[in-house]
Amino acid sequence: MLTYLNEAVASICESIRFDSAMAKGAPGKPFGTGPYDCLRHFLSLAERLGFETHNYDGYVGEVVYGTGEEEFAILCHLDVVPAGDGWTKEPFGGVVEDGKIWGRGAVDDKGPAVCCLYALKALKDRGFEPKKKIKLILGCNEENGWACIRHYNEVATMPETGFSPDADFPVIYAEKGILHVRLHFPLPRLPFLTLSGGKSPNMVCDLCRATPRSIGKKRAEELGLEIRGKSLIARGVCAHGSTPELGVNAIEPMLRYFEPRCPEIGRVLACLFDDVYHLRDIGDETGKLTLSPNMIHCRKRDLQILCDIRYPATVPVETVHAALSKFGVKYETVHHQLPLFNSKESGLIRTLLSVYEECTGQKAEPVAIGGGTYARALKCGAGFGPEMPGDEPVVHRPDEYITIERVKLLLEIYERAIERLTK
């Protein structure tokens, strides 16, 4: 069996070296130069490997294998969240050290995308002729609103079935709904001149900065805040917005610092951190609702906080809105994605689970996650790797990496899964 391990490792490193975080768009480059160049690199690689490719106006790319009337999708993305702070490695270095490939996108989602491409190459070299047309679809705006998928649906035909290698093993049968809301808290008297924090709606805020009207040194020290001249800095630990419990939110200590000077901030803390309205009690078999206040700024006495909410897959979004209304504050929906829910006994889920068990030798059960993948863009889709139970959480964190051993396993798993689902 050809695994193309060395080639895959080299290609992952090359892809990581593109800073493909969303930037200011330009003609033909809707999400900035970085995502565009990364997409061109991937499609050029696929062409050299002998595949048909399509670049849909810089929004999304496609690698095609097979000619069947029925289609099968492998949905990946090449954009990344901003690097953030706290790295000990170069975020876009794409270097191999200690048996690992380091850099933003190694796991989410450039590494798995490259592995799927080389899995297709291995199948092609073996003479495998799929009965379905396989479309390896490569979005460039997964982390910031899915405009890439909307564009794809306008200019091409999305398959009904497939998987996205942008989640967890053994296989994802359900994904929580995603709701980004901006809450507005009026502050009649501001105890600060400036206040801001957070880099992305789906990243736990790891840095919050404020300029107080006056600095209380003792309280700042009690809350672990840094004093830099006339500024206060709160530092946290970044994590994916779907798993806020794995991070430390820098917004909370900053707000607690100002609470004695501004009683209205106590209401903010009660709603978003103390959870007096028990929003987080909403749950089902796919888990409890999570709420992560990830971006904050103040504009004209209006404290605005952008929150990432992941709500259980069988719970109507109206239930969440009803709970939010109890806050008694103005809010608006910035982004919403409906949940994904498949039967654990569906053919897609059972096939992917069997491949996982064969390749790992481990018995397992389908799982639900709070993260959102492109799988929900399909009528019947599932998240399938690359993370394993017990992995160190590195997605959306500093020093993201993927091990060489994991790359090797992914090549085997994805080759077998694609063959099994398209023969």
Residues labelled catalytic:
79, 142
Cα–Cα distance for residue pair 194/211, rounded to 1 Å: 5
Retrieve residue 180's tokens. Answer: 């980004």
- Rounded to a whole number of angstroms, the distance between the first and last alpha carbons of the chain is 18
Q: Which two tokens stand for residue 183?
A: 């809450």
At residue 151's C-alpha, the angle toward residues 312 and 142, to 5°, is 45
CA distances from 292 to 179, 203, 246, 317, 399 (A): 11, 9, 11, 17, 22
Joined tokens for residue 385: 């790797």
- Burial per residue of 241-253, b for 16 or more beta-carbon CB atoms within 10 angstroms, e otherwise: bbbbeebbbbbbb
Please report, as a single letter, which amino acid is at residue 216. G
- The two tokens of residue 203 are 């990243």
CA 67, 71, 75, 78 dihedral sign is positive
